[in-house]
Structure 1
Amino acid sequence: MTALTTRGALASEWIKLRTVRSTYLTLLLAAATAVLVGTLDAASAADAWDSWTPERRATFDPVRYGFSGGFYLAVLAVGTLGVLSASTEYGTGLIRTTFTATPRRRQVFTAKVLTTGLLALACGQLLSFTTYFLGQAQLAARHLDVPLGAPGVLRAVLQTGLFFAVLALTGLALGFIVRRPAGAVALLFGLFFVLPPLLGTISDRAARWTLQTAFESMTATVTTPNHAPSATALPTCALHLTVLLGTAALLVRRRDV
């Protein structure tokens, strides 16, 4: 009976996710900003290469350069998708129907985590590989491109796609905790964009354990003094998800609807 209700919860959450217009809008925004801006950034780097100083050329990362500007907005869009997949039902009151149909709230929560996380992971990998190949095509004209088999390249591309799932699940957790889309999105924005510089004014070591710093390390193939050690990136993501999803799961079980 438990296995049947679990499969039913997964099917229900997947139907909700793929039939809501906001899913397609946020994924379209993520694709547009990630692929288009990443490709244009690579093209601009190739065009401006002759005017760059030797110091700037030495720190140029042909992989991460395409994963900078546009991808910051893309991961925030996917994080917003996570927020909406959790908080929208609270706003409309449909969460009561969901918990009536599946009284085991843990199953509902787990189903949302799996469907949202797997969708974000699949889309993230598609966008990261597409951006990588299009960006390298732009850099190839100046012989600045690097193959997928070069040291650190495949890792950076895969981890860029993985970070989409991390932000989506972060948004999902905040959506369950706050239960209001606007408040959860604002908190997500602050966690990713505002917290790192604030912690940086206190301690550089503390700032290394933020999601933005983790993202920068995960997408890098060239080591620079400004990047935190890549060894802390995945533990940082795991720590954030453990705390946020754990808190969200506890609140889902103990709160009244």
Structure 2
Amino acid sequence: MSTPQPPTHQQAAPAPNWQAAPGTSYVSPIPITRTHLGHALASEWTKIKSVRSTMWTLGVFLLLVVGVGLLVAVNTTTEDYTEVPYTIPAFFGLILGQICLITLGVLVVSSEYGTGMIRTTFTASPQRYRVLTAKLIIFFVVAFAVSAFAIGLVGLFTSSLHDGESGTPWGRSVLMGALYVSLLGVLALAVGSMLRHSAGAITTMLGVVLVPAILPAFLMLSDSMRTIGEKMMEYNAPNALARIFELDTDSGTGGSQLALLAGVTAAAIAGAYALLEKRDV
């Protein structure tokens, strides 16, 4: 028969500084930090700079805008810029390059739905509106910075080839041109959020850009549809950029076209926010 051992006295270990989740009785071993928009912005910035689609689309965009712009610039003379800005060569590259920003805008949101990673994103940040806001802000800043850089680089190169004194200041065309194509990309992001399908959203945006540029030629064959065709011709993307780059100053400087795009983009963003909260993932 064993002899009972006297109880040993040990000092109790200090309790860890755990925090209870607000409104619950569960005590988490992880310190709780309230999240805010800054966390979502950091997350979206990490995503957009680390995926290959960003490098490819922006790389092709720069190749088109800068490459085509430089090719056009070397085939111009100083007399060509007496009444137009030195950024005119960038216009020809933007006609194609805008498709790259549209594609990237769609992929920023639709790729997460395609892979199912959006569930992880919304689990980490249940405030869905915050996630979409962060995507919109990060994409717009990246698209605008890259666009302004490309247009400005073409303008500087063209200016260096000639006497450097054009009849028109070209800073305005850099800002407005970059703003226009960036808003097209933001519109594509909103459409991608609503459709949640990459191919469908890209096809829809291509229709938004290409159909108004092609359809007026057929509408203007009919007298009853001529007015619609003329308005569509006036506000389509190629003609809007032409006015911004002052190729067609008789019809305005692109302000009304930019305002229309901003209004359509704002409506699409509002629709994206509304559908985001109503549908499951």
Q: Same fold (TM over 0.5)?
A: yes
- How do 1:172-183 residues align onto structure 2 when only pairs under 5 Å count? 172-183=189-200
For the residues of structure 2 that align with 1:92 and 1:219, how far apart are their CA atoms? 40
What is the correspondence of 1:1-257 to structure 2 with a 5 Å cutoff?
4-46=35-77, 61-63=84-86, 65-138=88-161, 140=162, 146-147=165-166, 150-199=167-216, 201=219, 202-220=228-246, 222-225=247-250, 227-257=251-281
Q: Deviations over 1:98-156 (max 9, x none)?
A: 11111111001100000101111111111111011112333x1xx5x544xx5452211
SS of the equivalent of 1:103 reads coil
Distance 1:194 1:64 in 2: 26
Unaligned runs of 5+ in 1: 50-56
Change (3 A) 1:59 1:179: farther
C-alpha contact 1:33 1:74 (8 A) present in aligned 2: yes
After TM superposition, the runs of 4+ consecutive aligned structure 1 residues lying more than 6 A away are: 57-60
- Cα distance in 2 between the residues matched to 1:214 and 1:19: 33
Q: Structure 1: which amino acid aligns with 2:229?
A: S
Report sequence identity in percent.
Answer: 31
CA distance in 2, matches of 1:22, 1:195: 28
8 A contact 2:215–2:229 mirrored in 1: no
Q: 1:12 to 1:210 in 2, by over 3 A?
A: same
Report the Cα distance in structure 2 between the residues aligned to 1:159 and 1:20, rounded to whole angstroms: 28
Equivalent-residue separation in structure 1 for 2:34 and 2:242 (angstroms): 40
Contact 1:63 1:219 in 2 (8 A): no
Query: How far, CA to CA, are the matches of 2:35 and 2:101 in structure 1?
Result: 30
Greater shift, 73-82 or 113-122, is seen at 73-82
Question: Is the contact between residue 124 and residue 163 of structure 1 (CA under 8 Å) also seen in structure 2?
Answer: no
Change (3 A) 1:117 1:181: same
Distance 2:52 2:189 in 1: 17
Cα offset, 1:179, TM superposition: 1.3
Q: Distance in 2 between matches of 1:40 and 1:81?
A: 25
- Answer yes or no: is the 8 Å Cα contact 2:190–2:268 preserved in 1: yes
More helix by share: 1
Are the structure 2 counterparts of residues 21 and 159 from structure 1 closer, same or farther at C-alpha, using a change threshold of 3 Å? Answer: same
Aligned residues of 2:101 and 2:184 also touching (Cα < 8 A): yes
Alignment CA distance shift 1:13-1:205 (3 Å): same
Task: Select the structure with the greater relative contact order (CA < 8 A; seq sep ≥ 6).
Answer: 1
Q: Higher mean Cα deviation, 1-10 or 64-73?
A: 1-10
| CA pair 58-135 structure 1, distance change in 2 beyond 3 A | closer
**C-alpha distance in 1, partners of 2:149/2:248?**
25
Report deviation, 1:228.
4.9
What is the deviation of 1:58? 10
Asked whether the equivalents of residues 214 and 236 of structure 1 are also in contact (C-alpha less than 8 Å), the reply is no
Distance 1:240 1:63, change over 3 A: farther
* Secondary structure at the counterpart of residue 176 of structure 1: helix
Q: TM-score when scaled to structure 1?
A: 0.83
1:78: how far off? 1.3
Q: From the superposition, tell whether residues 154 and 111 of structure 1 become closer, same or farther in structure 2 (CA, over 3 Å).
A: same
Match for residue 53 of structure 1?
Answer: none
